[in-house]
Amino acid sequence: VAKPTYVSRTGEVDLSVAHLGAGLLGLPLLAQGEQVARLLEARHRDGVRFPDVVVEMGRRGSKTTSVWSTIVGRAATRERYRAVMTAQRGVVASRIVVEHANLMIRAGHAAEAKDYRAGGADVPLLYRYAGRETIRWPNGNEVMAVPPDPGAIRSAAADDLVIDEGGELDPLRGQDFIDALRPLQDTRGPLAQYVLMGTPGKVRAGPFWTMLERGRARTDRDLGIADWCIRDEEDADDRRIWRRVHPGPSSGLTPMRVLEKRYRDGGPIAFAREYLCRWPADATTSAIDAQAWAAAERPTVAPPAWCGVAFDAQKDGMAASISAAWRVDGVPHVALLEYRPGTAWVARELRRILAVHRGVPAAADHIGANMPTVEDLSRGRPKVLVMAPSFKQIMGATQTFVSRLPAHQAQPDLERAVAAATWRDQEGGRLFGRRKSTEDISPLVSAVVALWAYDSRPERRPVVVMSA
Ligand SMILES: Nc1ncnc2c1ncn2[C@@H]1O[C@H](COP(=O)(O)OP(=O)(O)OP(=O)(O)O)[C@@H](O)[C@H]1O
Ligand SMILES: [Mg+2]
């Protein structure tokens, strides 16, 4: 069952207004709609518990409908109420208002204004003022679209301000826009709310990202959050995670079949962003959480006789690493065996290690900087066969590594590599990248490949003696 990864606690909340609103739209209030409504409708003294609310949910998860259920319910039950709806582009705001008005019309709970003479209706009417489409209730309450400019919004001063498709807001101009709206909130009544919702944008910046970060950190008591997102370390291919993160399958709105199709059509990176709410990685995105890494530290970690061994060279060959990896009752362990400048030493040192750890699997990514060593090992004596993971296997191994961080001893070179590692999106998945080109993550990469080598051959093969 889907549940938000980050969500503000509310306790018991009366959801009757949201249920009423959903009924006016002719739709049931689904579990995610109830969750959003709890956030919006939570009360504190004579006002709302959260004057600011941020909602992140995958595409077609029903975020717009969820928020609208409560907004329409308020318009139907409060006095002198106005909600203003906007988005990065005015046409989007207009479309959303018209779409929801049409739902109400179809359900028999609203009508087109052009079909009535002024004052003649006892149901809400849709006025198609271009760019300011408005649903107006008989008592004067309004839900209206407004173009995304601070002047227009100021003149339409409202109780609730709802900004949809927050990920589409321009990182810079969008922030200016929100900043210009801030003063409006100083004079709001205790029931007024500012709601920003959407799916991730193209960069980790801008008002939506900033508000999500604040919400996730729980530092602002006035900010409520409901955020159905995958965590950075989680595997975007794991179908169980899809079910947890996207409210579609468990609510019956978007079946897994549809998600699988979106995955095939759009590719894994776009799918993870739009349906699992994974924000694109950038130079500030640590691949490995520092606290989680520290939690896997042990006083001493020494490789047993049977382990996987791998080497990796820094891109320009300035330095190289050799690591060992193994499992104890399934728990991954890694150790950095050597880290030195240059690469000329690697083949010799690897032979020495393999003389101690006899017959264990040795591996390296067959990239440029590793090739001289691979060749040396295949030609010189004793001959060493170096397994090469495919591109896909490296991505899988990297995900395996971050999904369950290995036990390790504190080693400065490994610690530095872990701290420097960022995510680099690739066709079909992601790999480690480095924050700055001067940093070397080879101690980490060699550990990932060593664990892959171990997992490919986790046990010593029994020696079979054939006799004639
Ligand atoms: N409770 C419901 N019952 C039936 N259909 C629903 C319900 N809620 C939403 N829908 C429909 O599912 C579709 C997606 O809903 P909605 O537009 O609210 O999702 P969204 O998360 O805002 O999507 P997007 O990211 O594309 O904006 C819409 O066609 C909507 O009418
Ligand atoms: Mg929407």
Q: Among the bound ligands, name the one nearest to the CA of residue 65.
A: 1
Q: Among the bound ligands, name the one nearest to the CA of residue 19.
A: 1
**Residue 87 has which token pair?**
């988005």
Provide the total of helices (H) and of strands (E) in the chain, helices listed first.
17, 18
Q: Are 360 and 306 in contact (CB under 8 A)?
A: yes
Count of residues for the chain? 468
pLDDT for 354-365, tens place per residue? 999 999 999 999
- Residue reference for tokens 């701290």: 419
Confirm or reject: Cβ of 26 under 6 Å from ligand 1: no
Question: Alpha-carbon torsion 287, 58, 198, 87, what sign?
Answer: positive
Q: Are 320 and 312 in contact (CB under 8 A)?
A: yes
Confirm or reject: Cβ of 64 under 6 Å from ligand 1: yes
Q: Are 407 and 301 in contact (CB under 8 A)?
A: yes
| Per-residue confidence in pLDDT tens, the chain, 468 aa | 999 999 999 999 999 999 999 999 999 999 999 999 999 999 999 999 999 999 999 999 999 999 999 999 999 999 999 999 999 999 999 999 999 999 999 999 999 998 887 666 789 999 999 999 999 999 999 999 999 888 888 888 889 999 999 999 988 888 888 888 877 777 778 999 999 999 999 999 999 999 999 999 999 999 999 999 999 989 999 999 999 999 999 999 999 999 999 999 998 899 999 999 999 988 778 899 999 999 999 999 999 999 999 999 998 999 999 999 999 999 999 999 999 999 999 999 999 999 999 999 999 999 999 999 999 999 988 999 999 999 999 999 999 999 999 999 999 999 999 999 999 888 878 899 987 777 899 999 999 999 999 999 988 765 566 665
Whether the bond between 171 and the residue before it is cis, its omega within 30 degrees of 0, is no
Predicted TM-score (pTM) of the model is 0.87
CA distance 217 to 139: 41
pLDDT for 304-341, tens place per residue? 999 999 999 998 999 999 999 999 999 999 999 999 99
Span from the CA of 66 to the centroid of ligand 2 (angstroms): 9
Q: Among the bound ligands, name the one nearest to the CA of residue 36.
A: 1
CA distance 284 to 288: 12
Query: Which of helix, strand or coil describes residue 71?
Result: helix
* Among 15, 57, 62, 88, residue to substitute to test ligand 1 (most atoms within 8 Å of Cβ): 62
Pick the residue whose CA is nearest to atom 11 on ligand 1: 62
**Residue 98 has which token pair?**
């018209």
Residue 66 Cα: closest atom of ligand 1: 18
138 secondary structure, DSSP code: T
Span from the CA of 317 to the centroid of ligand 1 (angstroms): 52
Confirm or reject: Cβ of 19 under 6 Å from ligand 1: no
Span from the CA of 197 to the centroid of ligand 2 (angstroms): 8
Residue 197 Cα: closest atom of ligand 1: 22
Q: Among the bound ligands, name the one nearest to the CA of residue 164.
A: 2
- Radius of gyration of the chain, Cα coordinates, nearest whole angstrom: 28
